[in-house]
Amino acid sequence: MLLQLKDVFLSEGLRREFDYSLPLSDFDIGGDYPFKSPVNIHAEAVNRAGLVELKIKAVFDYTTRCDRCFEPITKHMEQVFTHGLAVSLIDDENDDYIETPDYTLELDEVAASDIMLNLPSKFLCREDCMGLCQKCGKNLNKGDCGCDKASVDSRLEVLKQLISEE
């Protein structure tokens, strides 16, 4: 969505709001397409004392698999981002403001990159997820598998022998 913001930049105190759906179903994240439905975007551009601030609220469902037990999960998420806007920047390395030449901004690009950069690094079906048994692969959230947990990894057997010799 291309935002025309000239009136906001030129009128102190002016507020403009934008609501729309952003389709991200074609985003491939680790071989998966977690955005099954569009992201609901509410954006607001406000001129406060000559400075234009953009606030973006993204609401969406993220479908993936638990990083411990690999069960499918869907997380309802809300993210809020704030950016300062400037018509032109003197320093190209200024990350505090987004340059809006000709008083326009491509909101899709800003919202999509904000969402992707702020996704959690790990998704769990629940905080106390027990994961999978390292021996048999059973989901331990569904009960104990009965495997012997006391056995030592064969690669570490040499260390066990060294300890027993002392």
**pLDDT (tens digit, 9 = 90+) per residue, 5-23?**
888 888 888 899 999 999 9
Does residue 149 share a domain with residue 112?
Answer: no
Same domain for 90 and 147, yes or no, is: no
Kindly report the pTM of this predicted structure.
0.77
67 and 148 assigned to the same domain = no
Residues 40, 122, single domain; the answer is yes
Q: What pLDDT is stored for residue 165 in this prediction?
A: 66
Q: 60 - beta bridge partners?
A: 77
- Alpha-carbon distance of 30 to 37, in angstroms, equals 18
Same domain, 53 and 103: yes
- Same domain? For 125 and 150 the reply is no
Domain interval for residue 49? 2-129
Q: Give mean pLDDT, residues 39-57.
A: 91
Measured CA to CA, the distance from residue 35 to residue 123 in angstroms comes to 14
Which residues does residue 58 pair with via DSSP β-bridges, in sequence order?
41, 79
pLDDT beyond 80 at 57: yes
Q: Per-residue b/e over 75-94, b at no fewer than 16 CB within 10 Å?
A: eeeebebebebbeeeeeeee
Q: Return the structure tokens found at 27.
A: 């985003």
